[in-house]
Amino acid sequence: MSKIKKKVSKALDANLDRDIASIRDGARRDLSVPAQRYLRCLVDPRAATPTGVPTAIGGYPGRTAAIKLTQRLTFNCGTSGVGFVSLQPGTTGLNQGYVTGPFSDTNVITWSTGSWASNTVQQAGTLVPTGITQAGWARSPYQMATVQEMFDFGYRIVGAAIEVFPESSFSDQNGELTLIELPGHESLNDKATGFNLASGLGAFELSRTVRAVQTGSQREKVVINWHPRSRHDVDSERNDFDFAFVTPGTTPQTGWANMDGIVVAAKGAAGTQFHATVTAIYELKGRKVPGVKPRAVDSRGMDLVFNAIMHKTMDGYVGVPDHVYHGYLASIWHAGKKLWGFARENERRLMDTAKSVASIAGIAL
């Protein structure tokens, strides 16, 4: 083994040792370093360092790689005054056998242009409507068509988000953005057609509707972020919480895709333009995946992250991503306090701080 390889091997071993020590020595109320990295990927994948999911659920991950994929696009309110962008980071449609993932040759992102003349989404598998654009990850080094063998390639989602930038403030009408992470990541258009984006998305209990205006601060973001979810229907072939690595086994579909991940819908004057940055982080394994390394797992840290997710009262957020990250940490602190007890002397002051920070993220304490 060359000296360079020995140094790299030692560095990897040292990093893994530090992660394991963080997991072993952490208090029940604290997040280990691997769990902190994972939470960063959930809250703000665009700025997060790519990492794996620190869980043994779905099978021991072994040696894996992590990749961040980003796509920038512009979407418009169509002629009916409604527009949208949606991301299906890694899903399998029940009826169409439709698969998405970290590939350049399948439809992962869907958005509207100024020529879209409807305010409803039609059924998956039909012809793509005029004014609708679909694309995969343009800069992904992977194509589904070349990694269909079981041991070649497997992936699971670590985190994903859509960040929206209104190009200009609305002044002559009540423009708005609705952020929604679909319940159970079930499809809006898998078994039905004509779902009305203008009125339907805002009716979900957790959806967040905000004024579509420029905030004036480049630090503040309008973001809808992805979390692991369980499907509601018992015959589903998909459950985000099983954390299984997906092996593509189907040809990429070119028709109208399922809209079953995270969605931003815009209402405003026809032609109104928005910029969006779409990001996803995937964990990969298989013989066609370079740069794999060992991963530490932390069931305790994953429990704390899940507790924070369960306290979310609204989808997405508007604000500074770092503040939102600390809102999740406040929820974790609160869960730890209720279950295991600590910080008795400063409980009132700490709870006031936790509540104010968590409210930014739409987290109930």
Give residue 243's pLDDT: 87
21: phi then psi, degrees, rounded to nearest 5: -65, -40
Strand, coil or helix: 323: helix
Q: Give the CATH number, domain containing residue 105.
A: 2.60.120.950
Q: Is 259 inside any structural domain?
A: yes
Residue 106 lies in a domain: yes
73's torsion region: left (phi>0), alpha (psi -120 to 50) or beta? beta
Are 336 and 238 spatial neighbours (Cβ–Cβ below 8 Å)?
A: no
Q: Does the residue 98 lie in any domain? A: yes
pLDDT (tens digit per residue) in 29-51: 578 889 999 999 999 999 999 99
The predicted pLDDT at position 187 comes to 82
Residue 22 lies in a domain: no
Beta carbons of 48 and 163 less than 8 angstroms apart: no
- Residue 254: the pLDDT is 62
Count the domains in the chain.
Answer: 1
What contacts 178, CB < 8 A, 6 or more positions away? Answer: 201, 202, 207, 208, 209, 263, 264, 265, 266, 267
In a domain, 354, yes or no: no
- Beta-strand ranges (E) seen in the chain are 63-76, 82-87, 109-112, 120-121, 132-135, 154-166, 176-181, 195-196, 208-211, 221-225, 262-267, 273-285, 293-294, 317-319
Domain membership of residue 158 (yes or no) is yes
Residue 113: predicted pLDDT: 95
| pLDDT-flagged residues of the chain (< 70) | 1-29, 91-98, 150, 167-174, 213-218, 231-239, 249-254, 333-365
Q: What is the pLDDT of residue 97?
A: 55
How confident is the model at residue 195, as a pLDDT?
85
Domain interval for residue 193:
50-295
Whole-number pLDDT of residue 172? 44
Judge whether 21 lies within some domain.
Answer: no
Q: Is residue 306 part of a domain?
A: no
| pTM summary value | 0.84
